[in-house]
Amino acid sequence: MAIVAKRVSDEREAEEQNFNWVGTRAVRPDGVDKVTGRAKFGADLHLPNMLVGKMLRSPHAHARILSIDISSAEKLPGVKAIVTREDFLDLASEFVPAGEMMVNYRDITRNVMAREKVLYEGHALAAVAAVNAIVAREALALIQVDYEVLPHVLDVVEAMKPEAVLIQEDLLTDGADPPADKPSNIAKRVEFGHGDIETGFAKADVIVEREFNTRPVHQGYIEPHACVASVSEDGQAELWCSTQGHYVVRGHCARVLGMDVAKLRVTASEIGG
């Protein structure tokens, strides 16, 4: 009886330890795959006869696009396709949910590929699909872009001033009171309040006013932003990309490309590190 009781006690102790997470380090379900290299990121997927895409990006922070000449690049052996602003639908302004925020399809089309103007340094102007990366880079060098370089502003406070250079000439501030009737660089105004600030100032013994500046901060993920696309002859398409919201990606891609969302499948590859 003593031996049986001890065995039952040991089994219960082992069972309690298996379910005791307080004070122990949780094992990441994706940890082993990532440290051993088995995890597949967007750039790790390779399909048979896969083409390689490269982007031509603007060296200017703000400029009007006068012309884009791709004729020489199209003649380069190994180049299969070149797309510019002319290959995308010019979608009307429409705000739609996108995860934790709202986005405007008009802005998305102008961010995917610059249309009238480049709005920031690195804004995409053209994309080349070629048999390999070397040919794609050579094709980018053959694309001729004629710019009208415009003034730009790097300081956020300066950009919000009424006399600042406008990035989008038709942008009216949403949420302004009274409603905005002139374009500005302020996309939206949101005000939070509690109580009467003037009353609080009147009762305060000391009022301290300071301005603080900090560097922009972004996540430190290690995977490259990459995607692989496969399109069949019947128009069915599949997209593998680094994302946490594959349904959002599917909806936006289908809308921007003008395709039926039912014909697009998105698979999320590994993210983070």
Helix (H, G, I), strand (E, B) or coil at 189: coil
- pLDDT single digits (tens) 231-245: 999 999 999 998 888
What is the reported pTM?
0.81
Residues paired with 146 in a beta bridge: 67
Domain-embedded: residue 160: yes
How many beta carbons lie within 10 A of that of residue 18, not counting itself? 8
pLDDT confidence bin for 1, thresholds 50/70/90 = very low
One domain, residues 69 and 112: yes
Q: Give the neighbor-by-neighbor strand order of the sheet with 52-57.
A: 52-57, 124-130, 79-83
Q: What's the number of domains the chain is made of?
A: 2
124 in helix, strand or coil? strand
Which residue is listed with tokens 């510019």?
84
13 domain-assigned: no
Distances (CA, A) of 60 to 110, 119, 157: 16, 9, 21
Q: Which of 174, 191, 208 is the endpoint of a domain?
A: 191
State the CB neighbour count (10 A cutoff) for residue 252.
Answer: 19
Domain that holds residue 184: 153-191
Residues 196-232: tens digit of each pLDDT: 999 999 999 999 999 998 888 877 777 778 899 999 9
For residue 6, being part of any structural domain is answered with no
Residue-wise pLDDT tens digits, 64-112: 999 999 999 999 999 999 999 999 999 998 988 887 888 899 999 999 9
Considering the domain architecture, whether residues 67 and 173 belong to the same structural domain is answered as: no
Are the C-beta atoms of residues 268 and 239 closer than 8 Å to each other?
no
CATH classification at residue 133: 3.90.1170.50
Question: For residue 130, which amino acid is it?
Answer: A
**75 and 187 share a domain?**
no
Residues 50 and 184 in one domain: no
146 and 164 part of one domain: no
Q: Are residues 77 and 179 in the same domain?
A: no
Residue 62 has pLDDT above 90, yes or no: yes
Provide, rounded to the nearest whole percent, the portion of the chain with pLDDT above 90. Answer: 62
Residues 160 and 60 in one domain: no
**Together in a domain, 114 and 235:** yes
Q: For residue 100, how far is the Cα from the chain centroid?
A: 13
Backbone angles phi, psi at 32, to 5 degrees: -65, -45
Instruction: For residue 182, tell me if it sits in a domain.
Output: yes
Is 5 in a helix, a strand, or coil?
Answer: helix
Is there a domain that residue 52 lies in? yes
pLDDT at site 18? 63
7 pLDDT exceeds 70?
A: no
Other CB atoms within 10 Å distance of the CB of residue 56:
21
pLDDT tens digit sequence for 109-124:
999 999 999 999 999 9
